[in-house]
Amino acid sequence: MDEMNWQAAGVISNIILVFALVCVTIYYAWQTKKQTDLMEKNRRIERLHREMDDLISLLYSRCSDEFYFSNLPLIIGKDLPDYMEPKLFYTAHQFWRDVKKNLYLTPKTTRDGIRKFLEFKLGERDIGGSLDTYNDWRKKGSVPKLL
């Protein structure tokens, strides 16, 4: 009979220990989920800060300057009007390259809006790397549809 009591006590203690282990595991899983959610939130906040610093502030700083948003030829030395100073043109060219470089930070709707602006207003066909002007691809006979 004593032997059965010890066996029962062993089984009961194993059940208690397993229950305690399950509780500890659940607690650690919950803490890990909280930490992961916090890391995800911090990553989103950091991305928004980078979007503001690298893209929105860049656009906002030039929003009142018509030169950056007019019909500019986007290739240095190509279709450059005689009245335009090359240094000023290079500044505008670099401005739009910086904008394009940071487009990945924006939501899809903002990115599409900027791309449509570049296609329509500045005559740029490929936002990725090609800087063909509207006249260049009109000569080739492959003018893309804007909408």
- For range 55-80, the mean pLDDT: 69
- Position 18 scores a pLDDT of 96
Q: How many CA atoms lie within 13 A of 51 on its CB side?
A: 14
Contacts of 51 (CB under 8 A, 6+ apart): 102, 105, 106
- Position 127 scores a pLDDT of 41
Confidence label for 146 from pLDDT (cuts 50, 70 and 90): very low
Of the two residues 21 and 1, the one the predictor is more confident about is 21
pTM for this entry? 0.52
Question: Residues, the chain, total?
Answer: 147
**pLDDT tens, residue by residue, 99-136:** 888 888 888 888 888 888 877 766 655 444 444 454 55
Lowest mean pLDDT among 49-58, 72-81, 100-109: 72-81
User: How many other C-beta atoms lie within 10 A of the C-beta of residue 115?
Assistant: 15
Q: Name the token pair of 16.
A: 């208690």
Give residue limits of the domains in the chain: 1-61, 64-147
**pLDDT tens, residue by residue, 25-35:** 999 999 999 99
Lowest mean pLDDT among 24-28, 65-69, 76-80: 76-80
Of the two residues 46 and 78, the one the predictor is more confident about is 46
